[in-house]
Structure 1
Amino acid sequence: MSYDGNCAASRTECPYADPTKKGTQVQCWLSGCHWCATGSPSCVQGTVCDSQRTGPEYDCRSSPTETLTPYECLHRGCSWCASNADFKCVRDLPDTPQTCLGNETLNCFPFPTINGVSEQQCNDQYRCSYCNDSTAENQCMRKECPPDWELRYDGQSCCQSPDDAVSTSDSARSMAARIIGGTDAAVGQWPWQVLYLYYNSAGQAATCGGAIIAPKIVMTAAHCKLTLTNAAFSGLEAGYIYAGSTVFLSGAQIKVAEAIPFPYYSNTLHDIMVLKLFSEVPSHATPLSLPMGEEPVPGMNCFLAGWGDTDPTTGFAIPLLLQEAQLYIPTAAECTSGFQTYDPAFQICANASLTPQSACFGDSGGALVCQRCSSCEWYAAGITSFVLGPEPACFTNEPSYYSRVQPYMDFLQENGAPAGDQAYSCDSF
């Protein structure tokens, strides 16, 4: 439990709370100091304690009346400065923040703060430094993720680890040139992903993606359903889903009992559908969380997975393994510039973070997933609906379009999705 420059060569030995237990790692932490296993002295006070810090930006308490123990102070990412006059738990903000001098820094917010943040707003964030001279889009940065936090999947900021939800892969990676332009998804990274095999109006097999949202419920796109009349459709099977595998047409095959499109689906609008299954998906095919009020913010990086066409210029190239791609959320104006009838109340668009990447034919119905602003938990922000232009539209620089999931929460819950007991939002970021 050591931070930034506290274990540098020039340091001050910790004033132990109990000198008789000097030299033990636990006692070092209980004294609110930083343990440097390879150094001498091995237990040091924070560099911020070398001078009096009286400004409110250095106060690590949540309020002037909060009482913290030295260990609680340290676990918060701060230093216990016994000699500090006004408060003892001091935020580690050196005069020239080391974070601002490094080449590898992390955003303190889950998305680029388009309108910027003030120095006070930045200092209120855990373990962050305000870099006034930075030319980067985000001036509020941290050097490393705090304890019990982890790197977001895009590798650009940190998030708090969720207790009981799928979060960032253990093999968190730096994003290199990575569904068009996608890369193979790691086994277990997108456990809710399914392949939906159904029959089109000509009686031919066709595929879409989908997301498990309950053990016997899958969410997909309405245009993945037959365009025949209900009477004609009733004579054909609703299809199958394949769950629990990253290999095309592999995993558990489960028959679809009923396909329920949103009642007002029309071409590109309200393009969302529920599939009710005859039996439950495997236990390792865990459901994807629904938005529960949360909406992605422009500038945020989100992800898409699917077995869609990877090269429409050569016909229909289906990948054997599930592909993933990183996409960013543009502003509503950018979405409208490519599609004049774009409706931000019911639709969302996304564009390539690392070109060329895009949804393509066969990716329809798959979930556009984002990590929550408040944690690393993934949730369904959109359902893949369409790409613009003639073939090969997937190679253009135009955004791909998705049905926004949040407006359809009532429809989903009426058809078997969990109600949830918590509301989420990005408003505080």
Structure 2
Amino acid sequence: MEKFTTILWIMYLQSAIYRAEEQPMSVQIPIMNEVKSRIIGGSEVTPHSYPFQVHIKMFNKISNVASCGGSLISKKIVLTAAHCLDGRPSLVAIKLGKHVFSKYEKSEKLYFTSTYRSHGGYYGKECKDDIALVQLNEDVDLDGETVSTVELARDPTKLYVDEQATIVGWGMTDSQAQSPELRSVDVKVLDQHGCVFQTYSKIYPTQICTSGAGPKGACVGDSGGAVLVDGVQVGIVSCLKLHSEEGDTREHCMSGLPTIHTRVAMYKDWIDRALSDPGFFNKGCTKGSNIIFVLCDIFILLAHF
């Protein structure tokens, strides 16, 4: 009887996910002190050309769904942005092997989990330390074609200035509709000074900045996705800095201003601990009871004063 009930519950969640995808609500890239997101000026990719890309849905209630991108970095761990988990979801659905997120595909694999951890330094105000890891409940079957892991940047001294980077995601396009097909866009990596000059904002060494000229860049739904240079993930889509918060989401995405990303190599030790320490997800501000989250929030808040 218990097994039958479990099967019914999984079927119910599966149907809820597809109902939600008909009218998706995506986590937005932080704009200034908020959390907002952008793929503008890009094109549809060849199916499964980015087999590490995952589609993430977060559930607080069955009717409250938000989505983000992410990257598979091991058989059991997904890399994404911390702001994607701001709502402290009680359930996270991970889909791998996807190209069109709004319909079932034979290549797709679906996993549910409630285990994740955001970086302890993340507070959201300046998109600083905007990185999180999600642990699946079982190992993923890596077929090397539709599902595989991504190589992560390891050298924190390499800045990639003036190199071409590729952003991947299912985010909002120029038409102000979220793309059902996976898309990518090529953008230029900016130096820190140029990024500060364009955004009037502080840029941390733990962040990497890409040009929005064209306009080209990320948009709603791309948060947490990969920023790649020569196939290596160097960044995580994090936030868009604007001079003004006036205007709609499309205007924000089409502003031509740079997008800020989390610099992956700066967190290699933290990521390595997650890959090697079985107790990693039992430490820090992981998903848990409300009182634990409140205490975690207080601790992080005090750390910023």
| Fold match (TM-score > 0.5) | yes
2:109 partner letter: A
The one of 414, 419, 422 aligned to 2:273: 414
Distance 2:82 2:212 in 1: 24
Q: Deviations over 1:296-346 (max 9, x none)?
A: 42110010110011147x4xx121210100011012111112334433411
Distance 1:188 1:349 in 2: 26
Alignment of 1:263-412 (within 5 A): 263-267=120-124, 268-283=127-142, 284=144, 285-293=147-155, 295-311=158-174, 314=176, 317-352=177-212, 355-371=214-230, 378-389=231-242, 390=245, 391=249, 392-412=251-271
Contact kept in structure 1, 2:82 and 2:132, CA below 8 Å: yes
Alignment of 1:48-59 (within 5 A): none
Query: What is the RMSD of the two structures over their aligned residues, measured on CA atoms?
Result: 2.2
Which residue does the alignment assign to 1:199?
59
Gaps of 5+ in 1: 1-178, 372-377, 419-429
**Cα 1:200–1:397 shift into 2, 3 Å:** farther
SS of 1:415's partner is helix
Q: Which has the higher helix share?
A: 2
2:236 partner letter: I
Distance 2:255 2:86 in 1: 28
SS of 2:99's partner is coil
Distance 1:393 1:265 in 2: 23
SS of 1:343's partner is coil
Distance 1:300 1:350 in 2: 10
Q: Deviations over 1:110-145 (max 9, x none)?
A: xxxxxxxxxxxxxxxxxxxxxxxxxxxxxxxxxxxx
Distance 1:256 1:338 in 2: 39
Distance 2:205 2:141 in 1: 34
**TM-score, reference length from structure 2:** 0.68
**TM-score, reference length from structure 1:** 0.49
Distance 1:194 1:214 in 2: 12
**Cα 1:189–1:388 shift into 2, 3 Å:** same
Tell me how many residue pairs correspond in the alignment. 223
SS of 2:48's partner is coil
Distance 2:41 2:208 in 1: 21
Contact kept in structure 1, 2:80 and 2:236, CA below 8 Å: yes
Highest CA radius of gyration, 1 or 2? 1
Q: Which has the higher contact order (CA 8 A, sep 6+)?
A: 2
Alignment of 1:128-277 (within 5 A): 179-199=39-59, 204-227=64-87, 236-237=90-91, 239-249=92-102, 250=104, 251-267=108-124, 268-277=127-136
Which residue does the alignment assign to 1:53?
none
Aligned-pair identity in percent equals 27
